[in-house]
């Protein structure tokens, strides 16, 4: 039994299909073997949370507490947990646990475990003042990052960081980022910090200054020119990282890849991608997807950010305003990551 089992906490939940997000009182769940309980200080809103909120038949049933970008402090250790201590600052991201025995897990590729779990989808998520998770999901938050800054690294941060560093691009290579939103504004910063000749691609001339502030050397306004053609004029990109949640621009973007260039997609919708095979074969180009990272990857992303000055730009709001914050995110008005503060 948890020593604080009578403590009342708060969680932002969806109680039934189509219902709005409401904050209700909940009781903490004592950690079982291999688990820890975290007192949440900040929790981000990801675009994927929109689908979680709207899901008419969630796997765990109702009520649903979304959230997979969590930063907080370890409050309680379950039996058998080693290597962690009460009071440590930690984050929990999209990776919410794995089976530990499949081929993917045994080779260190825990993110692609067939039985992987996601906080807020597989079990109660982080839009709460407390969350209980497997200890294997924890990443240590380094000094220099606040909780509100650390939270987005569990999804947006580690996803863009890994996609860039595993792309095969090297310092000085032309690297383009499509979209300057929750993912893209971090991707541009990471790309510049890694030494790439960074190109930001977005709609509207008003975003040029922002792109330059984030570290981009070039800006392509898709209202004025086709981004693939514009990249080709610059010599072709070694990597194009698509963070926008639309597949429409992707086919044309292939024209902007240099020989052996790669288009990596991290922002998704329900669309399909049709590319003439000759465009890939004749220039040895490739199209690939990328999905998040492990807790160790998240720690590396945060340490790199502290060392280089990369920071998410966040809008913080009290947990009670979760529905309004979700609406802001859904309407594309977030600048650039909405973060809920349970203690506000």
Residue range 55-92, pLDDT digits in tens: 999 999 999 999 999 999 999 999 999 999 999 999 99
In the predicted structure, residue 4 carries a pLDDT above the cut 70: no
Using N-to-C axis directions, what is the helix angle for 295-308 and 184-193, rounded to 10°?
70
Give percent of the chain above pLDDT 70: 98
Q: How confident is the model at residue 245 (pLDDT cuts 50, 70, 90)?
A: confident
Query: How, if at all, do strands 89-92 and 35-44 pair?
Result: unpaired
Residue 117's pLDDT is 98
Task: Give per-residue pLDDT as tens, 262-311.
Answer: 999 998 887 889 999 999 999 999 999 999 999 999 999 999 999 999 99
Residue 101, classed as helix, strand or coil, is coil
Query: How, if at all, do strands 89-92 and 138-140 pair?
Result: antiparallel
Query: How, if at all, do strands 337-341 and 35-44 pair?
Result: antiparallel
7 versus 214: the higher-pLDDT residue is 214
The residue ranges of every structural domain in the chain are 8-155+293-341, 158-289
In the predicted structure, residue 315 carries a pLDDT above the cut 70: yes
In the predicted structure, residue 51 carries a pLDDT above the cut 90: yes
In the predicted structure, residue 20 carries a pLDDT above the cut 60: yes
Task: Give per-residue pLDDT as tens, 196-222.
Answer: 999 999 999 999 999 999 999 999 999
Residue 6's pLDDT is 57
CATH class of the domain comprising 8-155+293-341: alpha beta
In the predicted structure, residue 2 carries a pLDDT above the cut 70: no
In the predicted structure, residue 186 carries a pLDDT above the cut 80: yes
Residue 106's pLDDT is 97
Q: What is the mean pLDDT of residues 229-236?
A: 98
Task: Give per-residue pLDDT as tens, 104-159.
Answer: 999 999 999 999 999 999 999 999 999 999 999 999 999 999 999 999 999 999 99
Q: What are the E-state strand segments in 126-192?
A: 130-134, 138-140, 174-178
Residue 269's pLDDT is 82
Record: fold of 158-289: Rossmann fold (3.40.50)
Residue 246's pLDDT is 87
Please state, rounded to an integer, the average pLDDT across all residues of the chain.
95
| Locus of tokens 């509100």 | 148
Residue 181: CA count within 13 A, CB half-sphere? 22
Please state the length of the chain. 344
Residue 276's pLDDT is 92
Residues in a beta bridge with 190: none
Enclosing H/E stretch for 42: strand 35-44
Q: What is the mean pLDDT of residues 249-269?
A: 95
67 versus 8: the higher-pLDDT residue is 67
């Amino acid at each position: 039994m948890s020593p604080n089992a009578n403590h009342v906490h708060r969680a932002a939940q969806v109680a039934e299909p189509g219902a709005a997000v409401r904050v209700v009182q909940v009781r903490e769940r004592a950690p079982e073997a291999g688990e820890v309980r975290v007192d949440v200080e900040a929790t981000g809103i990801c675009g994927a949370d929109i689908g979680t909120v709207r899901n008419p038949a969630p796997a765990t049933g109702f009520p649903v507490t979304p959230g997979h970008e969590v930063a907080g402090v370890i409050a309680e250790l379950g039996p058998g947990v080693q290597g962690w201590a009460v009071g440590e600052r930690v984050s929990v991201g999209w990776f919410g646990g794995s089976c530990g025995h499949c081929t993917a897990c045994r080779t260190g590729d825990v993110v692609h475990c067939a039985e992987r779990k996601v906080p807020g989808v597989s079990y109660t998520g982080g839009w709460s003042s407390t969350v209980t998770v497997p200890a294997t999901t924890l990443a240590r938050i380094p000094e220099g990052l606040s909780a509100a800054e650390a939270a987005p690294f569990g999804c947006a941060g580690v996803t863009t960081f890994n996609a860039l560093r595993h792309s095969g691009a090297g310092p000085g290579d032309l690297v383009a980022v499509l979209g300057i939103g929750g993912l893209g504004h971090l991707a541009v910063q990471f790309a510049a910090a890694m030494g790439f000749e960074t190109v930001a691609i977005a709609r509207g001339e008003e975003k040029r200054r922002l792109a330059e502030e984030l570290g981009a050397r070039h800006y392509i306004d898709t209202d004025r020119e086709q981004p693939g053609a514009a990249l080709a004029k610059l010599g072709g990109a070694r990597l194009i990282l698509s963070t926008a949640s639309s597949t429409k621009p992707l086919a044309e973007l292939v024209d902007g890849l240099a020989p052996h260039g790669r288009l990596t997609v991290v922002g998704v919708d329900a669309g399909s991608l049709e590319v003439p095979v000759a465009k890939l074969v004749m220039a040895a180009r490739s199209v690939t997807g990328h999905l998040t990272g492990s807790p160790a990857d998240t720690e590396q992303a945060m340490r790199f950010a502290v060392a280089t000055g990369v920071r998410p730009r966040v809008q913080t709001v009290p947990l009670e305003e979760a529905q309004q914050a979700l609406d802001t995110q859904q309407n594309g008005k977030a600048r650039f990551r909405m973060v809920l503060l349970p203690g506000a």
